Amino acid sequence: MALGRGHWGSRFGFVLAAAGSAVGLGNLWKFPYITWENNGGAFVLVYLAAVALLGLPLMMGEILIGRRAQQSPVPAFEMLGSKRWTPVGWLGVAAGAVILSYYLVIAGWSLWSFAQCIGWSLHGYTAKEGAFTQFLSSGSIQLVLTAAFSIATALIVSRGISRGIEKATMVLMPVLLAILIYVLITALTMDGRDQALAAVFVPDFSQMTAEGFLEAMGQAFFSLSLGLGAMIVYGSYINKDESIFKSALWVVVLDTSVALMTCVTMFTIIFSIPELQNDLSGSSVGMLFITLPKMFYTQMPGGAVLGPAFFILVAFAALSSTISLGEVSTSLMIDRVGWSRPKATVVTAAVVFLGSTLSALSFGAVGSLSSIEVFANKQGVFATLDHLAANYMLPIGGLLTTLFVGWKLGRKSTIEELGLSRETVPFKIWLWILRVFAPMAVLYLLFNVFMGKDFS
C-alpha cells in the first residue's frame, strides 16, 4: 500500500463518499429534464438497462483499478498497464475538468435559490414571471456564484480525502434521502400522479432515437461518476477487505433511486400544475429551480422550511460531486508532478474557473457564448460542453476502461482483487460484459449517432 495514502475510516466510508459523488445535479436536475425531453418511459427503461449492464460492471472495474494500483488514474493506468494506456487517464482528467467547469455554474444556482427561499420563507412567495431568465443572464451574479462554489470546493479538496468528507456525507446523504422521500410522498397526493407514473414508467419505444439511446447511456455514466477516473481515485482509498461488488451495488442503487424519485416528483408536479409546462419550455433548467420552489410555497405544508432545506441539500449534493471532480486533477498533480496538495488544488481551481466563466456567461450574458451551436439543439457553451463531456468523453473513457479491465488486467489479479478464489459464473458474466458487450454497445451507439440514425 502506498505510503501516506488516506483510507476511508469506516465500512460505509467509501459507499457514502462515492454515493456523494454520484448523487448530485445529475440526479436532481439533469435526469428529470432529459427524461422530459426524451418523452419518458422508454428512455427511463433504456437508462435502467444502461445502469445495470454498463454502469455497475464499469463501476466495479474502476474501483478495482484504483484499489489495485493505489494511485490516481494516469499513473494507475501506466502502472497496471503500460505507457500506452496513459492517454485514457488523461482523457478522464480532461473530462473531469470540463464537467467541473460547467457543473460549478449550476451548483452556484443552488446558493442563489437557497437565499431566495430564505427571503420567501420570511416575507412570502413573490417570484415574478421571467425572474429566473433575468437571473441567468446577469453575468456578474453568475460569476460571483460560480466563484463562491469554486472556493468552497477548493477549500475542501485542499484538505484532502479527510474525515471531513466522510463525516459530512454520513449526515448529508440520509437527510437528503429523508427530505426527498417527504417531497415525493407529498407530490404523490397531487392530481397529476397517475399521468406522471405512466409517463415515467410506461415505455413507448416509438419515441426513442439513436441520440436518445446515447443520451441515456451518457447519463448513466455521468450520474454514476464513471468514465473519467473519479471512482478510480476514490477506489484507491478503499480498504482491501471491502467487497467491491457490494460497494458498487450500494452506490448504483442509491444513485438510481434518487434519480427515479426526483423524476417522479417533478413529473407529478408538472402534470398537476399545467402552467408549469410553460416555464419548462422556456428553460431546460426550470424544473429544479422554478418548479420545485413554486410547489414548496404554493402547494406544500411546511414549504417555508422545506424550501431552504431542500436547496441547501442540493448545494451539498453538488459539493460532494464537485469535490470528487476536483480530486481527479488534484491527485494527478500530486502523484505525477509532485506538487503539494494546496498548490495542486489552487492550480486546478484557477484553470477550471477560467473555463467556468465561459459557461457562466452563456445563459444570456454574452450573446456569442449563448448562441454557439456545435451540436444540434444544444445552444450555448454550457449545453455544448455538457453534451460533449457526457455523451462523448465519458462513454469513450468508459469504453477504454472496460477494455483495460477486461483485456489488459490479468484474470489472476482481477479475481484476487474481487476477493474470489476461482472463476465463478457471475465473474465470467462480468468479465465478458467488460470485454465484449460494453465496448460493442458504446461503439454501436457512437457509430449510429455519427451516421445520424433514428431508431424510432
Report the interface residues with ligand PFF, using CB under 6 A.
21-22, 24-27, 96, 99, 222-223, 225, 228, 230, 321, 324-325
Helix runs in 273-379, H state only: 276-282, 286, 292-298, 303-332, 341-360, 367-371
Q: What single letter denotes the amino acid at residue 169?
A: T
Residue number, 345 or 370, with CB nearest to ligand PFF: 345
Query: Rounded to the nearest whole angstrom, what is the least distance from the CB of residue 320 to ligand PFF in the complex?
Result: 9
Query: Rounded to the nearest whole angstrom, what is the least distance from the CB of residue 277 to ligand PFF in the complex?
Result: 25
Residue number, 370 or 386, with CB nearest to ligand PFF: 386
Query: Rounded to the nearest whole angstrom, what is the least distance from the CB of residue 58 to ligand PFF in the complex?
Result: 13
Residue number, 259 or 273, with CB nearest to ligand PFF: 259
Residue number, 73 or 303, with CB nearest to ligand PFF: 73
Can you read off the three cell numbers belonging to residue 20?
456523494
Residue number, 154 or 210, with CB nearest to ligand PFF: 154
Contacts by residues 114-122 (CB-CB < 8 Å, ≥ 24 positions apart): 114/308, 114/311, 114/312, 114/314, 114/315, 116/293, 117/293, 117/296, 117/307, 117/308, 117/310, 117/311, 118/308, 120/293, 120/297, 120/304, 120/307, 121/304, 121/305, 121/307, 121/308
Can you read off the three cell numbers belonging to residue 242?
471491502
Residue number, 166 or 300, with CB nearest to ligand PFF: 166
Residue number, 35 or 223, with CB nearest to ligand PFF: 223
Query: Rounded to the nearest whole angstrom, what is the least distance from the CB of residue 27 to ligand PFF in the complex?
Result: 5
Query: Rounded to the nearest whole angstrom, what is the least distance from the CB of residue 123 to ligand PFF in the complex?
Result: 32
Query: Rounded to the nearest whole angstrom, what is the least distance from the CB of residue 43 to ligand PFF in the complex?
Result: 16
Let me know: does 328 contact 73? Beta carbons within 8 Å.
yes
Residue number, 24 or 81, with CB nearest to ligand PFF: 24
Query: Rounded to the nearest whole angstrom, what is the least distance from the CB of residue 453 to ligand PFF in the complex?
Result: 27
Contacts by residues 164-169 (CB-CB < 8 Å, ≥ 24 positions apart): 165/17, 165/20, 165/320, 165/323, 166/8, 166/9, 166/10, 166/13, 166/16, 166/17, 168/316, 168/320, 169/16, 169/17, 169/19, 169/20, 169/320
Alpha-carbon gap, residue 12 to 321, rounded angstroms: 17
Which residue's CB comes closest to ligand PFF?
26
Alpha-carbon gap, residue 110 to 106, rounded angstroms: 7
Alpha-carbon gap, residue 398 to 418, rounded angstroms: 20
Burial of 198 (0-12, 13-18, 19+ CB in 10 A): middle
Q: % helix / strand / coil in the chain, to the nearest 5?
A: 80, 0, 20
Residue number, 70 or 256, with CB nearest to ligand PFF: 256
Query: Rounded to the nearest whole angstrom, what is the least distance from the CB of residue 294 to ligand PFF in the complex?
Result: 23
Let me know: does 51 contact 224? Beta carbons within 8 Å.
yes
Query: Rounded to the nearest whole angstrom, what is the least distance from the CB of residue 243 to ligand PFF in the complex?
Result: 22
